Amino acid sequence: MSRKDEYEYLRTTAEEYVFRESKRLGLSRRRFLELSLGGALGAFLLACDGDDEPAASPTPAATGGDASFLPVKDVPETLFRDLRPNFEMRWNAMQGEGYHVPNSKFFVRNHTRTAQIDAGSWRLRVHGTGVERELEVTLDDLRRMESRTVSRYVECAGNGRSFFETIGGQKASGTQWLLGGIGVAEWRGVPLNVVLQEAGLKPSARDVMPAGLDERQVRRPMSVEKALAEDTLLVYEMNGEPLPPDHGAPVRALVPGWAGIANIKWVGSVEVSEEPLYTQWNTETYVFVGPTYQPDPPSLGPRVSSQNIKSALELDWPATLQPGRQTLRGRAWSPAAPIGRVEYSIDGSAYVEARLDGGRNEAGAWALFEFDWDAPAGEHDIRVRATDTAGNSQPDTVPFNEQGYLYNGVVPHPVRVA
Ligand SMILES: Nc1nc2c(c(=O)[nH]1)N[C@H]1C(S)=C(S)[C@@H](COP(=O)(O)O)O[C@H]1N2
Ligand SMILES: [Mo]
């Protein structure tokens, strides 16, 4: 395991954090852990302000329909479910689309509201103990640097959260996503690596943290190893267009495979540190809390790391179909490896293998699949289950966690044929 892996990075960082903080406070490691679990060290543990992801997602009632929480782009009912300030992609909107989700259909997940930033006066500041010199670059400077184009998904760690209640029987806090908190786009930008070298990355550097220019200044650290990965980018183009405001204009981070929150939008600065960086986004939120999880100091529970394998049908939820023979399509994705196979089951019958379309299929993006169904009139449910070439598969059930992260169980998709 390397620190390029999110789980390994967070684990080793936690150990070091406990060591350093207990030393700083003149406590034994054990006493520090006792106090932190009792909540007495909360102030020290939260390196930054702000509330957590679930609480930060006001219901439509709480925002009173406040238009300032709406994205800048159009979010028609036909394409999105309104979970403001978040907007979920409707999967039936992907019927007939190619490999990428068009910008007009891409889900929006904002902790507050879309920041509107003037690209002309925008600067990126690279700073911290881990670089030889502070660097300031304009958008034109970035555009002149070596660029790279990759197809990758961004997926919210809460994608699928509503199934904890509707399938598991226990409601998790936070935005009640079905499965539309994901999208694959073609992203173009400068490898973060290139910018870090420009600032004189020190061999002693260990953590890298992009910070957003939105109200909450959302930020979350990553390891230097991940920052140096060839597909970790500072993105300025999405599907061949300038990055749209709702997706982080003028520049966002792309951190493939890691939890959605790592893909910081409206990046204004990147801190490079010789010391581990900690934020509430890896101690209080984006952690697993629930009956099957133990506290994992200094976090309230094991930290959410990489996204996991999932699949979805390109159908509305619930779907209505005409009776008769037809082809149903969907997409499956895994951060770990290409998709190996997808199976489907109708009304609980034995699983049958679906066809992969033979097109693009890479780790960190998705594969398209399809199967034929002679649909009889009535109420049905269809389950799809993906397995990647590393052997990861979707489970039947997922243990509950209070904040509702990473639900990747097989779900019965309700279908009415009439
Ligand atoms: N600055 C900033 N970056 C952010 C967020 C945010 O609220 N502010 N939300 C994060 C979360 S939780 C997710 S899932 C992705 C969503 O990206 P999208 O809105 O482009 O789909 O952006 C991440 N980057
Ligand atoms: Mo997210």
Beta-carbon neighbour count of residue 65 at 10 Å?
A: 10
Give the three-class secondary structure for 16: helix
DSSP 323: S
Tokens standing for residue 169:
């029987």
Q: Could you tell me where the DSSP H helices lie in 289-396? A: none
For ligand 1, the distance from its centroid to the CA atom of residue 108, given in whole angstroms, is 7
For ligand 1, the distance from its centroid to the CA atom of residue 378, given in whole angstroms, is 40
Beta-carbon neighbour count of residue 218 at 10 Å?
A: 23
105 lines ligand 1 (CB under 6 A): no
**Is there a contact between 75 and 50 (Cβ–Cβ < 8 Å)?**
no
Q: How far is CA 386 from CA 11, 361, 370, in A?
A: 28, 13, 12
263 lines ligand 1 (CB under 6 A): yes
Strand partners, 160: none
Task: Please name which of 145, 128, 129 lies closest in space to residue 269, comparing C-alpha atoms.
Answer: 128
Q: How far is residue 391's CA from residue 226's CA, in Å, rounded to a whole number?
A: 23
Q: Ligand 1: which of 53, 103, 233, 263 to mutate, judged by most atoms within 8 Å of the beta carbon?
A: 263
Tokens standing for residue 397:
């059930």
* Each residue's pLDDT tens digit, 29-41: 777 776 666 544 4
**Is there a contact between 182 and 153 (Cβ–Cβ < 8 Å)?**
yes
Q: Which atom of ligand 1 is nearest to the CA of 259?
A: 14
231-262: b or e for each residue (b if 16 or more CB lie within 10 Å)? bbbbbbbbbeeebbbbbbbbbbbbbbbbbbbb
Which amino acid appears at position 263 of this protein? Answer: N
Task: Please name which of 416, 259, 260, 411 lies closest in space to residue 330, comparing C-alpha atoms.
Answer: 411
Q: Which atom of ligand 1 is nearest to the CA of 115?
A: 1
- Angle value at C-alpha 300, between 299 and 302, nearest 5 degrees: 70
* Each residue's pLDDT tens digit, 183-241: 999 999 999 999 999 999 999 999 999 999 999 899 888 999 999 999 999 999 999 99
150 contacts: CB under 8 Å, gap ≥ 6:
186, 187, 231, 233, 254, 256
**Is there a contact between 285 and 53 (Cβ–Cβ < 8 Å)?**
yes
Give the three-class secondary structure for 149: strand
265 lines ligand 1 (CB under 6 A): yes
For ligand 2, the distance from its centroid to the CA atom of residue 32, given in whole angstroms, is 30
The number of the ligand nearest the C-alpha atom of 184 reads: 1
Instruction: With residue 14 as reference, give the H or E element that holds it.
Output: helix 6-24
Each as own residue / partner, the long-range contacts of residues 73-76 (CB below 8 Å, 24 or more positions apart, any chain) are 73/103, 73/104, 73/108, 73/244, 73/245, 73/246, 74/104, 75/108
pLDDT at 280: 74
pLDDT at 49: 27
Number of H helices, E strands in the chain: 8, 21
pLDDT at 14: 72
247 lines ligand 1 (CB under 6 A): yes
261 lines ligand 1 (CB under 6 A): yes
Q: How far is residue 418's CA from residue 405's CA, in Å, rounded to a whole number?
A: 35
The stretches in the chain having pLDDT less than 70 are 1, 7, 10-11, 15, 34-67
Q: How far is residue 300's CA from residue 171's CA, in Å, rounded to a whole number?
A: 19
Q: Specify the pairing of strand 324-333 against strand 86-89.
A: unpaired
